[in-house]
Amino acid sequence: MAELVLITREGCCLCDGLEEKLLALGLAYTRLDVDADPALKARFDFEVPVLLRREGAAERVLPRLSPRLSAHQLGTWLQEQGLP
Protein backbone atom coordinates (compact mmCIF):
# COMPACT_ATOMS: atom_id res chain seq x y z
CA MET A 1 0.00 0.00 0.00
CA ALA A 2 1.23 3.50 -0.82
CA GLU A 3 2.21 5.85 1.98
CA LEU A 4 1.93 9.63 1.87
CA VAL A 5 4.87 11.61 3.30
CA LEU A 6 4.86 15.36 3.94
CA ILE A 7 8.25 17.03 4.18
CA THR A 8 7.80 20.30 6.01
CA ARG A 9 9.52 23.01 8.03
CA GLU A 10 8.47 24.69 11.27
CA GLY A 11 7.18 28.20 10.64
CA CYS A 12 6.50 27.66 6.91
CA CYS A 13 3.06 29.02 6.03
CA LEU A 14 2.84 26.94 2.83
CA CYS A 15 3.69 23.81 4.82
CA ASP A 16 1.10 24.66 7.46
CA GLY A 17 -1.57 25.24 4.80
CA LEU A 18 -0.95 21.91 3.09
CA GLU A 19 -0.90 20.08 6.42
CA GLU A 20 -4.22 21.67 7.43
CA LYS A 21 -5.79 20.38 4.20
CA LEU A 22 -4.41 16.87 4.78
CA LEU A 23 -5.80 16.92 8.32
CA ALA A 24 -9.18 18.20 7.07
CA LEU A 25 -9.32 15.25 4.70
CA GLY A 26 -8.54 12.85 7.55
CA LEU A 27 -5.66 11.33 5.62
CA ALA A 28 -2.91 9.34 7.26
CA TYR A 29 0.54 10.65 6.44
CA THR A 30 4.05 10.76 7.83
CA ARG A 31 5.42 14.21 8.65
CA LEU A 32 9.16 14.80 8.34
CA ASP A 33 10.94 18.02 9.33
CA VAL A 34 13.42 18.95 6.61
CA ASP A 35 15.67 20.69 9.15
CA ALA A 36 15.93 17.61 11.38
CA ASP A 37 17.62 15.44 8.74
CA PRO A 38 20.74 16.59 6.86
CA ALA A 39 19.95 14.33 3.89
CA LEU A 40 16.42 15.76 3.57
CA LYS A 41 17.75 19.29 3.95
CA ALA A 42 20.33 18.75 1.22
CA ARG A 43 17.64 17.40 -1.09
CA PHE A 44 14.59 19.58 -0.32
CA ASP A 45 15.80 22.66 1.60
CA PHE A 46 14.17 25.32 -0.58
CA GLU A 47 11.36 23.16 -1.96
CA VAL A 48 9.15 22.56 1.09
CA PRO A 49 6.41 21.58 1.36
CA VAL A 50 7.06 18.35 -0.52
CA LEU A 51 4.69 15.41 -0.85
CA LEU A 52 6.14 11.97 -1.49
CA ARG A 53 4.44 8.73 -2.44
CA ARG A 54 6.25 5.74 -0.95
CA GLU A 55 5.49 2.17 -1.78
CA GLY A 56 7.97 -0.29 -0.36
CA ALA A 57 11.44 0.89 -1.36
CA ALA A 58 10.07 2.99 -4.24
CA GLU A 59 9.63 6.70 -3.71
CA ARG A 60 8.14 9.35 -6.00
CA VAL A 61 8.14 13.08 -5.41
CA LEU A 62 4.69 14.36 -6.29
CA PRO A 63 4.32 17.54 -8.34
CA ARG A 64 4.18 20.81 -6.44
CA LEU A 65 0.62 21.93 -5.80
CA SER A 66 -0.92 25.37 -5.81
CA PRO A 67 -1.56 26.64 -2.27
CA ARG A 68 -4.94 27.82 -3.60
CA LEU A 69 -6.12 24.23 -4.05
CA SER A 70 -9.05 23.43 -1.76
CA ALA A 71 -8.99 20.41 0.54
CA HIS A 72 -11.58 18.73 -1.70
CA GLN A 73 -9.48 19.35 -4.82
CA LEU A 74 -6.41 18.04 -2.99
CA GLY A 75 -8.29 14.88 -2.02
CA THR A 76 -9.38 14.28 -5.62
CA TRP A 77 -5.84 14.86 -6.90
CA LEU A 78 -4.33 12.50 -4.32
CA GLN A 79 -6.79 9.77 -5.35
CA GLU A 80 -5.66 10.23 -8.94
CA GLN A 81 -2.09 9.67 -7.70
CA GLY A 82 -3.10 6.33 -6.16
CA LEU A 83 -3.17 7.57 -2.58
CA PRO A 84 -5.99 7.07 -0.07
pLDDT digits (tens, 9 = 90+) for 60-80: 999 999 999 999 999 999 999
Strand boundaries in the chain, DSSP class E: 3-8, 30-33, 50-55, 58-61
User: How many residues does the structure list for the chain?
Assistant: 84
* pLDDT, position 2: 86
Q: By the 8 A CB rule, do 47 and 40 touch?
A: no
First to last CA, the chain: 9
Model confidence pLDDT, tens digit, residues 1-60? 789 999 999 999 999 999 999 999 999 999 999 999 999 999 999 999 999 999 989 999
Cα separations in angstroms, 1 against 12, 28, 53, 61, 62: 29, 12, 10, 16, 16
* pLDDT, position 23: 96
* pLDDT, position 28: 93
* pLDDT, position 7: 98
